[in-house]
Amino acid sequence: MLQLIEAIRSGNIADFKGEGLKVYPASLTTAGGTTIAIVRTTEGKKLIAVGEGELFDQLQGEEAAAGAKVAPLSHANRLTLNRFLPYTAPQAFGTKVATMGLGDRLGIASPGHIQTLRGKDIRPVLAQQSIRELALTGRTYEDVLDAAAYAVLQEGYKDGYGADGDHLKKEADIEYALRLGFTMLTLDCSEYIDNTIDPLSEAEVDAKYAALPAELRSHYETRYLASAPNVPGASLNYTALALKKDVLIYDAAINFMEAIYRRYIESLDREVDFEISIDETATPTSPEAHYLVANELQARGVRIFSMAPRFCGEFQKGIDYIGDIAQFERELASHAAIAVHFGYKLSIHSGSDKFSVFPLIGQYTNGLFHIKTAGTNWLEAVRVVTKVNPDLYRRMHQYALDHFEEATAYYHVTTDLSVIAPLGEVSDAQLPEYMNENNARQLLHITYGLLLQAKNADGSLTFADEFFQTLAEQEDVFAAGLRSHIGRHLELLGK
């Protein structure tokens, strides 16, 4: 350790070799009179600080030598780093650059994500998690931000990253994310979208619509039936029945969007990328419905960063697009044109692995989009386990099969367990092929929370400790897998 401290003091750690130590040369940085670097020890990653001054004094750690500290990668130390090294804090990006949400459910994928996106015309939203994901992984938003910030420091990445409070519905959760400094908020409006309307008969729709206040009905009819909207590149054709349905489905949600904007976004003294999610609906979002929501928000002075409609077809977890690609292209053209018309980015949710439609998304958005990924990063970690720890994988796979139905309460998938090759018929060398088969991918995808939190009778974790130890030992292999897999996403998106 003393030799490492001297190497950091001299600023020359690229060639340092030490038993039980791995240094991250890109993390070496100096602020004031303090030089710091991240090092992996036999006890995990640590922050080594050498020198003097405010940063040195404020970092919490143990003295290792005169003018040297070994500090944990703690929440308190992350906050200190944010103050002295602003690039380690998240930022908002606005609407002028493409962004990619990279939900790191494990807290260890961000180095690989940074290596993948570095130097490309797209910015990473490294800290992206929903409250559901936090509950399933036993993490907090503090944990999510800490992991992203330390990854940024480790990789010496200074081009900026975002932090997204994803799919938030409750005001307490919105307050929580914003209080911690999250720079993006994805508002999930699903609880205010009426999914009972679309299946109704015309007479039933008419009756429900007639019960609305006359002033409200007149407002919508004047704005959408009196004259056709002019949006270059979009095909919009309102009918009386379709408008009635859209008003019944979305009016309460629009009020909710405005209320959250007024209460939490408009009054902030910093920029926040405010995304509207209307993708959690029973039926696809028509271009007409998309335009109506966007037009109403603009009329009310609500500024948004992006909007996520529900596209036709299916955007299921961890597999390619399912549906009519020609229809998707036609509707995508209108959705993208609407986003351009109102000055925000089109957002694509459950965007992992949708390789067949990525070129279309890049084309019709002119490369200006927001796309969310998450579970595919977990699957790349599982792929590593299939290769280097087959015994662990086999136990995880069987547990996932045994608890699959429990996991379907959280995610919609059309997985057919009967076509997944039985474990007993698959050799260790063939295990990685599970990660190339859609049904097996979804099996492991949606059971991540159950696997990570499973416990033995004595209270010890059944899989998680061994899983994380395996990934720590295979850190470079995991990062290489992410560079390849997420890199393929970017290439097909035109980045």
Q: Where are the beta strands (DSSP E) in 116-216?
A: 123-125, 127-130, 163-168, 184-188
Among 146, 166, 173, 251, the one annotated catalytic: 166
From CA 243, how far away is CA 197, in angstroms rounded?
A: 12
Among 146, 173, 275, 288, the one annotated catalytic: 275
What's the angle, vertex CA 470, arms to CA 432 and CA 429, rounded to 5? 25
275 flagged as catalytic: yes
Nearest to 118 by CA among 161, 148, 164: 161
166 flagged as catalytic: yes
Residue 169 to residues 41, 143, 337: CA-CA distances in angstroms?
A: 40, 20, 28
Identify the DSSP state of 268. -
Helices 438-446 and 390-402, axial angle in degrees (round to 10):
80
Nearest to 477 by CA among 145, 118, 111, 153: 111
From CA 483, how far away is CA 409, in angstroms rounded?
A: 32
Backbone CA torsion sign across 125, 126, 127, 130: positive
| DSSP symbols for 1-54 | -HHHHHHHHHT--TT--BTTBEE-GGG-EEETTEEEEEEEETTEEEEEEEE-SH
- Phi/psi region, residue 167 (left: phi>0; alpha: psi -120 to 50; beta: rest), is left
Residues designated as active site: 166, 275
